[in-house]
Structure 1
């Protein structure tokens, strides 16, 4: 780690951030267009880098990494003028004569600490928001995906000046050193445990934070749900990227009367997607791998603990450590004492938990830390409306999984344990912006001057009127 270089880049970005306070729409759009041009010209390199890190299928990379980022860029370019424009707010009668606005100014120097599970998307997506807001940015990509981290470094070196955007690769000590700097904003994506470390470091400088964390996102399946449709969507949402998705369904809560039917539907959907020719999922070119041996062993430990305590494997459970392959696994007969029901799984294990009544399912969800996402499957709007109203989560998706991540007009983020702050679209722009209040007052007589001391008869009379009518 070159501390001197980090210091120099941070100081240069601090100076540059002062200039960027007055940056124009055209200047910001130009940076985003340059970024998109590089991505378009190097798509094959992006696919190869991510495949080298954990055998992610090219089509999956196209959808979940390249398309998502390009879509973010296009949306920002289209809307950045509106986002930047001062917003006029109404004037109450008590403030007659004044005018008020909200001005969106860049926070300044930002730090983006990105994870390994979607290594390109979750590094460059926040960068799009930082650029749109007029901030400088230092990116610390994950050391667990070195090929993609090197590619991100190359992208930034070829597109930006280091005073605008820079990348520092390395182990946890690099992130630790960066967190010691007085950044104006920190955007972190990762686990709740590390999120607490980031928040504690940010508190030293009172840096604002966006924490995109995770947790155990449940899928609740009502007895009148379309089981084939629900199974298809849950299998895709769970096992895309080999289950290494922060908003993947972590476990299923299913009404007891349809548990066996659901298990059949899930198994059919799993084979249809990843084993259509019956040659085994391990031979599928559409199924990614676990990022490294350490995480493979973590998942193996979760599964072993569950089976030792009575869980039953419906399908899956096979592991090939030479390939970091973990077979998609469906579990039943699970209970709260198992690690698989206590820790975020973040891999291709899907526990199935039956419930008798909707009240029981909602009580179960509310007894856990608030999840990043919650999925509700039912043909009854009364059922899904109850789930929405009586639970708390970063998002609720009705009759689908994961897709809310692609909706630019929705805020993406968690609540409490699953995150702080929102991202994507205008919400990402706001994360890197200070909403500065501007009030412009007239010169001379104003509505407030009669209230200046000394408080005579007129002042007391006006005060009483204010308290009574305003």
Structure 2
């Protein structure tokens, strides 16, 4: 038995022991206690929110080496990916919240009309209450803390359930959040299916989940019992369309960065398959081979610049995709596997069957099929015939094609001439559409995801009109219709008997 298998079994045993401790009563008591603290107003003030955000910043600043180490233990992540794509992005997210929180919290004036005159109105952002964040294993710090930033900024109390598939990261998250954040308002519950199930039995004011669509459906079913709103950050098969007029070297480098440079393809926005013409495909393949060798060497299995597959289950799932009949002979680059080390080399395939597993399921790994077309216009039919993806990518210099792609393709987000970088922009909402997700977050959108926009109208006792009260008449009807339509001219006509 390998060391990885022993470690995996050890994690299962540890989680089983925890399941015996964390019972339904514990989950219920946890939510009851947090709701009591929320009702007491612990989290509503600006100062409390700022204090917690600053402590999250301290975690990023003081504990980056521990975070990098945990990510390496769980996923074999290169230090650059951990420091930049997890810690640095979190640091930016926290700083943005600290800078703009007062503006986010401030009530916004709303226009009134003749119907309510004299009056004033505003929109007030209020916290939803007690929220649950269930995060994913592939970016365990970013995908855990980033939603928590939004929940805290909005003034909620929050329970974080990290993924058990990244045990070192889960343990460190529990330790650091307990050490730095207010325990009366922020808690971490570790564990696996049992713990998650017990938490989902409780009544929450919002559930935020990052993961796959299968679990997303389970989350929605549990939330429906209490009519709890959900944000589901899921995934899907994100296509990459390559036009023949593109800068091919830069194109493939950016595809490699978004695919193998993002946790070895284990990212929800990683390119999932390439669409290009039959004529141009050989050039794309040659360019991919050349740049992959430049990045990862002649022996990519030994490269320290790619993450490993998270566990044996996912390794076997990916292997099954590769070994499927009529797929295994489509490999044009890579295909090497080492089950003991959980390593699969960067692998490119050409013209796999569209009904194969690798084209039917989200890959979430280092495999990249290329599907060839007679002409690039066919890409729209292929993409739109499938569930809406979390991201869609296009490489071209053609302005008409850019315009048609952004207008015709429905996806959570679209990037032209790059991959995955939209995730880093807090000014853009990040989220899916259809089967790739519900709701969005990042920056102000995170604050909004955990807030209720409460409408408030202040009405004066002056100007009370008899036309709204019985007995009703044709004249009252005419006046009310013109007032509701905010039409001053027609209102005067009715008053003067001209209409």
Q: Given the two structures, how large is their TM-score scaled by the length of structure 2?
A: 0.90
Does 1:84 pair with 2:101? no
1:453 and 2:477 are equivalent in the alignment: no
Offset at 1:222? 1.3
- Confirm or deny that 1:256 pairs with 2:278: yes
My pick for the range that moved more, 218-227 or 106-115, is: 218-227
**2:323: which partner in 1?**
304
| Count of residues in Structure 1 that have an aligned counterpart in Structure 2 | 465
Q: Distance in 1 between matches of 2:481 and 2:205?
A: 44
Write out per-residue CA displacement over residues 48-72 of structure 1, whole angstroms, 9 at most, x where no aligned residue.
1111112111111001111111111
1:243 pairs, out of 265, 271, 282, with 265
Matched, 1:59 2:77: no
**Equivalent residue number for residue 386 of structure 2:** 368
Does the CA contact (< 8 Å) of 1:332 and 1:351 recur in 2?
yes
1:174 is aligned to 2:191: no
After TM superposition, the structure 1 stretch with the greater mean CA deviation from structure 2, 454-463 or 192-201, is 454-463
User: What is the Cα deviation at residue 22 of structure 1?
Assistant: 7.0
Q: Conserved in 1, the CA contact under 8 Å of 2:241 and 2:276?
A: yes
Cα drift, residue 333 of structure 1: 2.1
Distance, in Å, in 2 between the alignment partners of 1:141 and 1:160 is 16
Larger radius of gyration: 2
Aligned-residue Cα RMSD (Å) equals: 1.5
Q: Residue 266 of structure 1: which of 281, 285, 288 is its match?
A: 288
Residue 162 of structure 1, aligned match among 183, 188, 191: 183
| TM-score, with length taken from structure 1 | 0.96
**Residue 337 of structure 1: SS of its match in structure 2?**
coil
State how 1:391-406 maps to structure 2 within 5 Å: 391-406=409-424
Provide the C-alpha distance between the structure 2 equivalents of 1:42 and 1:467, rounded to a whole number of angstroms. Answer: 59
Structure 1 range deviating more: 387-396 or 22-31: 22-31
8 A Cα contact 2:234 2:436, kept in partner: yes
CA distance in 2, matches of 1:468, 1:100: 18
1:44-443 equivalences under 5 Å are 44-240=65-261, 241-275=263-297, 278=298, 280-305=299-324, 308-309=326-327, 311-443=329-461
Tell me if the contact between 2:44 and 2:156 (Cα under 8 Å) persists in the aligned partners: no
Deviations 1:146-179 (A, max 9, x none): 1110000001110123321111111111101100
Kindly indicate whether the alpha-carbon contact (under 8 Å) linking 2:154 and 2:451 is maintained by their aligned counterparts in 1: yes
- State which drifts further: 254-263 or 309-318: 309-318
1:281 CA drift (Å): 0.9
Equivalent position SS for 1:257: coil
Q: Helix, strand or coil for the counterpart of 1:95?
A: coil
d(CA) in 2 for partners of 1:68 and 1:339? 33
Shift of 1:310: 6.6
Cα distance in structure 2, aligned partners of 1:467 and 1:10: 45
The residue matched to 1:103 in structure 2 has which SS? strand
Alignment CA distance shift 1:469-1:99 (3 Å):
closer
Task: Name 1:463's counterpart in structure 2.
Answer: 480
**For structure 2, which runs of at least 5 residues remain unmatched after alignment?**
1-18, 488-499
- How far has the Cα of 1:436 moved from its partner? 0.5
Q: Pick closer, same or farther for the CA change 1:469–1:39 going to 2, 3 Å.
A: closer
Determine the C-alpha separation between the residues in 1 that align with 2:236 and 2:394.
17
Q: SS of 1:48's equivalent?
A: helix
| Between 426-435 and 307-316, the greater mean CA deviation after superposition | 307-316
Gaps of 5+ in 1: none
Shift of 1:21: 7.5
The answer (yes or no) to whether the contact 2:52–2:182 under 8 Å persists in 1 is no
Query: In structure 2, how many angstroms separate the alpha carbons of the residues matched to 1:73 and 1:468?
Result: 45
2:16 corresponding residue in structure 1: none
Q: Distance in 2 between matches of 1:255 and 1:165?
A: 52
Alpha-carbon displacement from aligned partner over 1:63-83 (angstroms, at most 9, x marks no partner): 111111111101111111111
